[in-house]
Amino acid sequence: MKAVVLAGGEATRLRPLTCNTPKMMVPVLNRPFLEHLVNYLKAHDIIDIVLAVGKLPEQVRDHLGDGSKLGVSIVYSMEAFPMGTAGAVKNAERLLDEPFFVFNGDVFTDIDLTAMWRAHRQSSVMASLALTPVEDPTIYGVVETDDRGRVTRFTEKPRREEVTTNMINAGIYILEPDILDFIAPNAFSMFERDIFPPLLEKGHDILGYQSLDYWIDIGTPDKYLRLNHDLLRRRAGDGRTGPAGGSSLHPSARIEGPAVIGEGCSVDRDCLIRGPVVLGARCRVEEGAVIEGAIVWSDCRIGRRASLRNCLIASNCSIGEECDVLDGCVLGDNVLVGKANKLSNGIRIWPGRTIAPDTISF
């Protein structure tokens, strides 16, 4: 099987984390999100991958190359402008001559792709959509199905009184090549709005494959934080949390997992790391600092008696002595919290604040 991974969006909802980093390269447990996705596909024998990329494609290509180091084959389909979910697939048409999967590039899931493929082949439909339940379907596009699993209606962001199902489009499709004939070339178009509803109106069957497996869209900072926390809690019992090679922990430092600590980190005396926590490579945590529920990217400094709590810190940030970064805060790359001199004590970044890259906050 072949898969098209849609990675050409601007990722504006995930800013400032994606100002300098494409969404597919945002780290999850210290590995690029795209690596997790590739390994998931590979586990279902999907090893021919087309990456539809737009913003900052060189970072993706420099890291993954042709995919051989991960045991897959990757080719790139470049977008000169944002083309939408359907437009991006049409742009890669020359590479698609057999049934193929399509994945939205911001979805992390355990949905059984092998079982979905089997259901698609047995149903003889032009398209199959993975469906997943959510607590609040009013912020998504809901998909109604009949007792055979055939889609009967799409409703985009229904009002609460209009909700008839909590099953939504999970952003995973299996498509027959014939569907490409319904997509305009060199134009922005969306499967969810421009392709699937008209196909349904014309009498084409679409299968809704319902799954209760884990699913999350990491398109916002709070969901990105939740994904890291979920995966850390999932790993807590398998013995794979803790410091990586080359890291040093003072004997008085306490780590209450689950936690992942990257290579080359140093954690000084009397520090407390209370999971779920991720520290990227080469981070320095100075005396008495407290980190709880935070995701910290690489090459960051956490100053003496500083406190991080349920926040997101991008690369090359420096948190000054006795400074606090509190719940829901998101710092872009190269942010300095506190003045660059000895008077930097006590700066507090209040809950929910977002700070753009290359900012000094004092």
What separation in angstroms does the CA of 227 have from each of 38, 131, 213? 17, 19, 14
Beta bridge partners of 337: 319, 361
69, 90, 157, 223: which is the annotated catalytic residue? 157
CA 298 to chain centre: 18
Find out whether 267 and 286 touch, Cβ atoms under 8 Å.
Answer: no
The residue type found at 105 is: G
% helix, strand, coil for the chain, step of 5 = 25, 30, 45
DSSP state of 299: S
Find out whether 330 and 349 touch, Cβ atoms under 8 Å.
Answer: no
The angle formed by the CA atoms of residues 140, 141 and 142, to the nearest 5 degrees, is 110
Find out whether 116 and 174 touch, Cβ atoms under 8 Å.
Answer: yes
Distance CA 319, CA 11 (A): 26
Distance CA 167, CA 147 (A): 14
Other CB atoms within a 10 A radius of the CB of residue 310 amount to 18
Distance CA 240, CA 336 (A): 32
Give the list of residues 6+ apart from residue 150 with CB closer than 8 angstroms, or none. Answer: 125, 205, 206, 207, 208
157 belongs to the catalytic site: yes
Place of tokens 């607590």: 135
What sign has the CA pseudo-torsion 282, 24, 112, 94?
negative
Find out whether 134 and 168 touch, Cβ atoms under 8 Å.
Answer: yes
Place of tokens 């977008």: 79
Would you name the residues annotated as active-site residues? 157
